[in-house]
Chains A and B, each alone.
Chain A
């Protein structure tokens, strides 16, 4: 999941968000309304977001087959009764009976097939399309697109008319039994099922996607009574008929912070219940004894990288790519943005993830200005050309990447220029290989396995990944790992794939995050999910309690 690093303050958005946002405790339920920051959401229909901001809403409005335990991060059955397989290739999923969507439609095998087929169907152009690639029949739904000249919109690929709409690998054995055939054995399959791409979809939603986008029809503990607005946010209240464990709070209001605004000022006035301090306020927050009691600090598996455009001819030289990495003083940059914000990375998978912390990047991730200078001088970087660093403008990304640019300039004398874009435009441009320089690349895990940092980011070949990375050796290693029989074996093979990245260097690992959230006095039982906490401030809404 691409991470926005959204949400951070000064705009008094509560005023624009309607009446819901200033409620203190007059929400639907008894527990009061929890106020949360959010950035720009790409989509609220499963499979359409693929980024942290949409997902933080979707994961509360929908229930997936499994849910990731808030303490251990392990997948536990939620909608699923049981997930079994004898050969890791044919999976039988039984679904709990009696569950419905907010609109009363049953949550059955068909609901999942409907959702998965929508995600896999290439003409829908959904960002999470690749998650379905392991399922049999995916290939038929994803033929080669028509030649580019025939597209009406040059950014939207078009496909032949006869693309099938259903994957052959999905069968509803009965209402509550779903059989999934994979193209090859994949041990990690059940772990993936808690992610947005695998959520069920109501028929009513599919019939009117536009309405469903504004007012999602989910099956989770929270539901929208009023449409969600991308620019001003919205409120979801607790769904009275929810069959699972009822949340304690009455609802949640998401307040939108865009263009470098952050939530800290609103947090200090109590208008936002959870927030991460900005670099400027970090020290004073840290030194405030009263705030320390309401502080959550823990490692965050979200990582920040400087993506390299391998599709651009200027970046073909591996020495140049290594030089850029060695030119960055990661400690120094972290000192600028707040020393407690992260831990420098020496590999592509962070330590807190299963199979991570291998140090695959090695010497190339160490700050070594002399070697960087030597490699840079030997490269054929066009004389006098500035390095254009692309970054989305949410939160303090611009400051962060200015510090990175400063560090590169200081080390190897290469001048830089920051190009800023809005989050969703940025995502689209990045996916279309439209950026002509290094770019901000953030990644938060979808599940607890090193594979999630390797295959979704760099897999799929030149066209599928943002970096234009293509390596047969790498793809073969990933395929080998996917087919492994035991988890240990798979993890080790994925680690070998990670080592291949060091030789081709599609991106510069920078740091793994550290969560530093503060919450208001009325918040009790504040739990942050170890696998995905959205940037800027996020709590497990299913667990949190409010006192009035």
Chain B
């Protein structure tokens, strides 16, 4: 009797096991563990800066300016003070939030634009595909940095930002506008691949509407290649933000981000205050490294074809 019983439908089995498999593979790699710890550290710093420092980054005492971090991680100023006499550790920790907020918001906007346009292009094809694909081509021709520089030049001379939103919005908008194309291409390719699969055809025969097919049936498949590139993209956004800040058009002082710190640090490194440049640089490199490593491992785990 039992062999005649229809197999119990186990929805999502394939999918959840894919994620579970991926998790299991990644868990075994030491580089991924180190990368995850660094990411955890950075995200915690962004979310709860007061866990790491009890000083305010805006409390700057001129007579304490440029104290080298002789005591290293202990004492009054664990990482010394910057040129204005602000506690450097506090500045660094509080500069993390704008950096991470900016990277995440750029990423979210870019993924949303990318997925929607990618699915539309892949699913409908024809004219819509032609328009979206040509738009992708156009934006891809303009390098991310060049586009962002051109766009941000328009925002020049704006007043000092008052809150986190005003601080990160201009560079975030600029980077998002020139950063969504990759996601469109991945999603479009995955959609084209998926839309002719039997289960999609079946859904269509059952009378499912386009929207339902796109977001219920195709999207869960298309999201996998996109997920794999997200960490790497986050890393490159952080680097791009720093580059913009060094050019003086990213996050505007007195607000801080790692890019602003690096930009200030470059002036001082030559004058013998290497820590003002070295510490933010080290933090940046570590973070980008961990995003890249994590992203790499995630792609390996999710996409067996690449293995």
Contact = CB atoms under 8 A, between A and B. Distances in A.
Interface string A325-342: 000010111111000000
B133 to A, nearest CB: 41
A418 B160 contact: yes
A331 B268 CA distance: 21
A331 B270 contact: no
Range for the number of chain A residues in contact with chain B: 20 to 34
B83 interface: yes
Contacts of B270: 280-281, 284
B306 to A, nearest CB: 44
B220 interface: no
A279 B267 CA distance: 9
Interface of B: 58-65, 83-86, 159-160, 254, 267-268, 270-272
Interface of A: 278-284, 287, 329, 331-336, 399, 402-403, 406-407, 409-410, 417-419
28 contacts: A280-B271, A281-B267, A281-B270, A281-B271, A282-B271, A329-B62, A331-B63, A332-B63, A332-B64, A332-B65, A334-B62, A335-B62, A403-B60, A403-B62, A403-B85, A406-B58, A406-B61, A406-B85, A406-B86, A407-B61, A409-B58, A409-B59, A410-B59, A410-B60, A417-B160, A418-B160, A418-B254, A419-B159
Report, nearest first, the 6 A-B pairs whose CB atoms are least far apart: A332-B62, A332-B63, A280-B267, A406-B60, A284-B271, A336-B65
B267 A336 contact: no
Contacts of A283: 271-272
Given A279-B83, A283-B272, A332-B85, A402 B254 contact: yes
Contacts of B160: 417-418
A284 B66 CA distance: 14
Contact of A329 (B63, B84, B267, B271): B63
Contacts of B267: 278, 280-281
A345 to B, nearest CB: 16
Nearest to A280: B267
Contacts of A399: 83-84
Given A336-B85, A402-B84, A410 B271 contact: no
B165 to A, nearest CB: 17
Nearest to B268: A280
Contacts of B268: 280
Contacts of A336: 62, 65, 83-85
A406 B84 contact: yes
A280 B254 CA distance: 17
Given A406-B60, A418-B254, 10 more contacts: A329-B61, A331-B62, A332-B65, A332-B85, A336-B62, A336-B84, A403-B60, A406-B62, A410-B60, A419-B159
**Chain A contact residues: helix, strand, loop or mixed:** helix
Contacts of A281: 267, 270-271
Nearest to B264: A280
A264 B85 CA distance: 23
A407 B85 CA distance: 10
A287 B83 CA distance: 18
B254 to A, nearest CB: 7
A278 B86 CA distance: 19
A336 B103 CA distance: 32
A118 to B, nearest CB: 35
Contacts of B61: 329, 332, 406-407, 410
Contacts of A407: 61-62
Nearest to A259: B248
Contacts of A278: 267
Contacts of A334: 62
Nearest to A286: B271
Contacts of B84: 336, 399, 402-403, 406
Nearest to B82: A336
Output the residue of B64, B85, B270 with the most chain A CB within 10 A. Answer: B85
Contacts of B86: 406
A262 B254 CA distance: 20
A282 B270 CA distance: 10
A399 B84 CA distance: 8
A294 B209 CA distance: 81
A213 B168 CA distance: 44
A385 B58 CA distance: 17
Contact of A284 (B58, B62, B272): B272
A399 to B, nearest CB: 8
A403 B63 CA distance: 10
Output the residue of B58, B62, B83, B271 with the most chain A CB within 10 A. Answer: B62
Contacts of B85: 332, 335-336, 403, 406
Contacts of B272: 283-284, 287
A399 B66 CA distance: 14
A33 B86 CA distance: 43
Contact of B63 (A279, A284, A335, A417): A335
Contacts of A403: 60, 62, 65, 84-85
B111 to A, nearest CB: 36
Nearest to B162: A417
A333 B62 contact: yes
A284 B62 CA distance: 20
Contact of A280 (B59, B62, B83): B83
B239 to A, nearest CB: 22
Output the residue of B63, B64, B267 with the most chain A CB within 10 A. Answer: B63
A410 B65 CA distance: 14
Contacts of A402: 84, 254
Nearest to B276: A280
Contacts of B65: 332, 335-336, 403
Contacts of A418: 160, 254
Output the residue of A283, A332, A334, A417 with the most chain B CB within 10 A. Answer: A332
Contacts of B64: 332
Nearest to B85: A336
Nearest to B157: A420
Contacts of A333: 62
A77 to B, nearest CB: 46
Nearest to A367: B63
A280 B272 CA distance: 9
Output the residue of B64, B65, B159 with the most chain A CB within 10 A. Answer: B65
A399 B144 CA distance: 31
A75 B271 CA distance: 41
B263 to A, nearest CB: 12
Nearest to B86: A406
A289 to B, nearest CB: 15
B238 to A, nearest CB: 25
B293 to A, nearest CB: 35
A279 B272 CA distance: 12
A40 to B, nearest CB: 16
